[in-house]
Structure 1
Amino acid sequence: MSTELENPHYPRWLKDAIFYEVYPQSFRDSNGDGIGDLPGVIEKLDYIRSLGCDTVWLNPFYASPFRDAGYDVTDHYAVAERYGCMEDVIRLFEEAHRRGMRVVLDLVPGHTAELHPWFQASAKHERNEYSDYYIWTDSVLTLGETDLRMIAGDVEREGAHAINFFSHQPALNYGYAHPDPNCSWQQATHAPGPTAVRAELNRLMRFWLEQGCDGFRVDMAHSLIKGGGNQAAMHELWAEVRAWMDIDFPDAVLLAEWGKPAEAIQAGFHMDFMIHFGTSAYTSLFRKQWGFSFSLNPYGCSFFDRSGRGNIREFVDVFEREYAGSRGKGFVSLPTGNHDVAPRLADGRDAEDLKVAYAFLLTMPGIPTIYYGDEIGMKGVQGLPSKEGGYIRTMVRTPMQWDASEQAGFSEAAQSAFYLPLEERADRPDVATQMSQPDSLLHCVRQLIALRRAMPALGNEADYRTLFAEPGQVPYVYLRSNQEQRVIVAINPTAQIASVSLSTSIVNLERAELVMGVGELKFEADASVLTLPSVSFGIWCLT
């Protein structure tokens, strides 16, 4: 029987997609200046494909002063010189497509750099065509009548302007869903200024799609329209984008940085990353000790922690809701991490811990996303000074480690010229070494991806059902299934042996084949008892 949905709301290639995020300045330097570049990405496409990943999400390469690592754009149509040129971008698209791969670009629609020509014109005293491209109050003294962060007194225009993140990132004006009548400067979403900004957004998206990109990951996708109660207005904005994309570029995708997949997909996106904001569910898996005090509740650790003090329900309760709200319409993505998520997945974990984490990440429904270097267990470098606005995030943006040489195969430049320093630990992981070790994390990741692709029940579209997930208990057990196949996955990240009795009325494991991992099954009259050793996982196909 067919495994495909009859009327999917997304391009069909997403049903098999596995993403790999590339932070270009830290991936591979091809010209010896110490900074990764686009030819370096092209050079490593075969490696990415060898993992089983078929889609590259590329962080910004646009012209920028790099006060926020390229998320402060001065020209959306130009390539920053340090990365290469437009011909390199086109060649990247072509080389990826020749390999059956796709490239998704980072889109930064909510703000620009303060050095962008639009803002420089908008900040002028005289009215001009860009005056309403950004959000301005009517006085430099108007700072307290808005819930936005405002900057005043640094330009000649009478007014304060809104910022989205850093002080040098003025917010573009997509309007207010419900303008406050007491704030005459708040413009409606279809006022001339916001309408012109929408037109610019559509123009630049169309430009890159015509060059050959396969879609966009949209930075801060939920925040463009300001003011409370803006959900309907945000849906309208992205519905307009989807309307022309679906006609002119039906295979192109929209991925959201929203943090609430069911909401983002309802708004018109094909996929949303369930990450560290919007909900604490993602943080509860791997990084809870970084964001929550142990004293606040008895389950103060991440679920993927050997202590067994994690609470899988913190994740499952939210995931089940987001999964149900997006099923058949789009996808949830549970990434290994990204350029904004600190620390890396490997922090505080060894290779065996990481194999269990990957067994989870690569058997869940939705679209897997691997952040460069996570597949070999890179930890990054803690305690670094901020680089290009990275601050605490700087630790997860260090150079990719390709081999065991002094420069790790990243660059021919002296290490002193590197964009960021390499890890200095004696057991620093690298691709070449792990390729030669059959039991390495890298090989485990490749095997899990190959298994996912070989088993329809583990596919992006296949169903998910929780079988056992209790606070403070392990294992976490779930069923993946489609019309052709059923697969049981059991996860035990703790240092203790984990055992669970599953009623045969829920699932009968008597005819189960272990296809990867470890575990023992015993059968009683009305139950199947599943036991896992410490720090392990098991994947069974029900025959």
Structure 2
Amino acid sequence: MLKLWNLVALLYLAIQAISPLCAEVPPGPKWLQTAVFYQVYPQSYFDSNGDGIGDLPGITAKLDYIQSIGCNAIWINPIYESPFGDAGYDVADFYKVAPRYGTNEDLKNLCAEAHKRGMHLCLDLVAGHTSIAHPWFQQSALAQPNRYSNWYIWTPAGESVPGSQPVPGQHNRADRYLPNFFPFQPALNYGFARPDPKEPWQLPTTDPACIAVREELKSVMKFWLDLGADGFRVDMAFSLIRNDPGNEAISALWRYYRSWLDKEYPEAVLISEWSDPAVAIPAGFHLDCMIQIGQPAYGLLLGPLSWPNGYSRDPHAFFERAGGGDIKGFVDNYLRNYTVTKSRGYISLPTANHDIPRPTCDRGEQEVRTIFAMLLTMPGVPFIYYGDEIGMEYVYPSPDKEGGTIGTLQRCGSRTPMQWSKERNAGFSTAPAEKLYLPIDPSPSRPDVATEEKDPASMLNFTRALLKLRRDHPALANTADFQPVYAETNRYPFVYLRTCATEQILVSVNPADRSCSVALNGFNEATQLLVQGAVLKGGRLEMEPVSFGIFTVHAKEVF
């Protein structure tokens, strides 16, 4: 199998050497070709007014820092008016910034300041549901028919429909509603692709109420795009239409929105929480984040998304010191998605997000560096979750704040305040500690930005170095090609090529706590770009425990 991998890789290099382009560039905004996203959890990032909660002016104040990392795009979690039963994913007003974050004018200013720096800013679009406190739902729950009566999915009170909820509060409507996630998040009614004729409450997607909901979402997008936003990450993008085998109706819906955006806002982007790029990208999204819903193959890479005690681990995850992982399962799944989408959109592999543990969970910094060496050199659009660039920990246990605990998964461990300095509250806020959104990581060894700025060997400066490599080398570009060189079941290391017409770069990662080596026939001498315990010489790759290597491969030596 190794000889076959080598042969495929060398043949691939030969084709690339005569190819005029790195790869076919996906359609959409040109800025995505060089985008590196930074995810900001707003309530935990920087508090500008001392109330204990991060806010929009706080993000604006830190734009220069975000840019200094090498990130030129930002995704912000929901900032809309909300009762915050689910940290803002229960929206009460799609057209108003929640007062705890500031005002609409503050968001407009944030967008303008980002644009001054050549940066882009995307909002979180909660398309599939609202809060029960939303006026639309309050009107829909009334017994008297009105404009909003069918904007939500209502089932007869006497009919047993799995998941349906009774109407909260003092309302006269006897029906029950379907939630989209938590019980207090009623699903908006985009219709049923295949409504059951025996169930008249299942409205077709062509029903006037469903069309009205569809058009209202377009109005929401228009409102924020006109204010200065550059696009949206769509929460649970797959969930809008019911009884939709094959995702045909939901795909048609998103293609409708994409067609409108291409015409009216051609520089705006759509990012999906779908975790199925082969479906999401043809459905109209510019990029899809594979980690969000937890494809099984991604679990093989970093471990399960739900760690009951904060540290329980999948012994077969590739990024484990035990070295019993299977990279091939991940690579096979990735290639299935990559080959059918690379000319149409981008696959993103985030370092983490607000719903899952950080990569530092039960890992040391050197191990995390091997993860970053891979994630930040893969094709597609990189996403760095706030604080991962300095090695912030997944804090366990953490309080259950705003719906942060789901079963055994404690999401708040990844939502603790950003650590800016060794000052009070880690520089996050001047508020009393008891008023902070969440407690600061109590560890005396917690990392912080100010300290790492001064250390050339810090995690922060390592992240900067990786992203500088990505900017400086065309073969590491978002659109440059990808080819596995060595990816064997239960074997280490993982080796792959990133290539374009002007250069070829070989990346190798060995997160295991043991040395490994592999013969790479044809890859004789190479130039080291960034390495940690790896040597490529004379057609052989030698890797120390917990190591990585990024090399320029010289074409004249390959052939």
User: Which region of structure 1 is more displaced relative to structure 2, 7-16 or 356-365?
Assistant: 7-16
Counterpart position of 2:399: 385
Tell me, in whole angstroms, the C-alpha distance in 1 between the residues paired with 2:506 and 2:471. Answer: 16
1:152 Cα offset (Å): 2.1
Question: What secondary structure sits across from 2:335 in the alignment?
Answer: helix
How far did 1:274 drift? 0.4
Q: 2:429 aligns with which of 395, 403, 411?
A: 411
1:277 to 274, 285, 293: 293
Residue 67 of structure 2 is matched in structure 1 by 49
Kindly state the Cα deviation for residue 6 of structure 1 after the two structures are TM-superposed: 6.0
**Given the alignment of the two structures, is residue 364 of structure 1 paired with residue 378 of structure 2, yes or no?**
yes
- 2:157 matches 1:140: yes
Match of 1:225 in 2: 241
Select the residue among 304, 308, 327 that pairs with 1:288: 304
Write the deviation string for residues 88-128 of structure 1: whole angstroms up to 9, x where unpaired.
00100000000000000000010000010000000000110
Which of 512, 530, 536 is 2:526 aligned to?
512
Q: Which runs of structure 2 are paired with 1:53-452 in the superposition (5 Å)? A: 53-137=71-155, 139-144=156-161, 149-152=163-166, 154=168, 155-229=171-245, 231-277=247-293, 279-288=295-304, 290=306, 300-341=315-356, 343-391=357-405, 392-452=410-470
Q: Flag the structure with more relative contact order, 1 or 2, with Cα contacts below 8 A and sequence separation at least 6.
A: 2
SS at match of 2:43: helix
Deviation at 1:62, TM superposition (A): 0.5
Aligned equivalent of 2:511 = 493
Moved more, 230-239 or 170-179: 230-239
Q: How far apart are 1:182 and its partner, in Å?
A: 1.6
Letter in 2 for 1:135: I
* 2:553 aligned with 1:542: yes
Structure 1, unmatched stretches of 5+, are none
Stretches of structure 2 lacking an aligned partner (at least 5 in a row): 1-18, 555-559
Contact between 1:323 and 1:332, CA under 8 Å: does it hold in 2?
A: yes
1:224-283 CA-to-partner distances (Å, cap 9, x unmatched) read 001141511111111111111101110100000001012100100000000152521222
In structure 2, the residue corresponding to 1:149 is in which secondary structure? coil
Cα deviation for residue 339 of structure 1 reads 0.6
- Judge conservation of contact 1:222–1:258 (CA < 8 Å) in 2: yes
Question: Structure 2: how far apart are the matches of 1:276 and 1:308?
Answer: 25
The answer to whether the 8 Å contact 2:525/2:536 transfers is no
Letter in 1 for 2:165: I
- Contact kept? 2:128, 2:239, Cα under 8 Å: yes
For residues 437 and 61 of structure 1, what CA distance do their matches in structure 2 show?
A: 34
Per the alignment, in what secondary structure is the counterpart of residue 478 of structure 1?
strand
How many angstroms apart in 1 are the aligned matches of 2:337 and 2:304?
A: 20
TM-score (norm 1): 0.94
What percentage of aligned pairs have identical amino acids? Answer: 48
State the TM-score, normalized to the length of structure 2.
0.91
Could you tell which deviates more after superposition, 283-292 or 43-52?
Answer: 283-292
Change (3 A) 1:3 1:44: farther
CA offset digits 1:384-431 (Å, max 9, x no partner): 231011111111100000011231110111111100001111210101
Aligned to 1:453, what secondary structure does the other structure show? helix
Q: Distance in 2 between matches of 1:51 and 1:4?
A: 25
Q: Distance in 1 between matches of 2:24 and 2:546?
A: 40
With over 3 angstroms needed to count, the CA separation of the structure-2 counterparts of 1:278 and 1:182, relative to structure 1, is: farther
Relative to 1, partners in 2 of residues 1:285 and 1:175: Cα closer, same or farther, differing over 3 Å?
same
Structure 2: distance between partners of 1:353 and 1:386: 29
CA displacement at 1:2 relative to structure 2: 6.4
Which of 514-523 and 386-395 deviates more?
514-523
Q: Which residue of 2 aligns with 1:469?
A: 487
**Higher mean displacement: 359-368 or 384-393:** 384-393
CA RMSD of aligned residues (A): 1.7
Distance 1:20 1:135, change over 3 A: same
Residue type of the alignment partner of 1:355: R
1:448-469: CA deviation from partner (whole Å, max 9, x where unpaired): 0000110000110000011111
Instruction: Tell me the SS of whatever aligns to 2:336.
Output: helix
Q: 1-side partners of 2:108 and 2:100: how far apart?
A: 16
1:266 match: secondary structure: coil
The CA deviation at 1:4 is 6.5
Asked if 2 retains the 8 angstrom alpha-carbon contact of 1:3 and 1:483, the reply is yes
Deviation at 1:5, TM superposition (A): 5.6
Shift of 1:311: 1.1
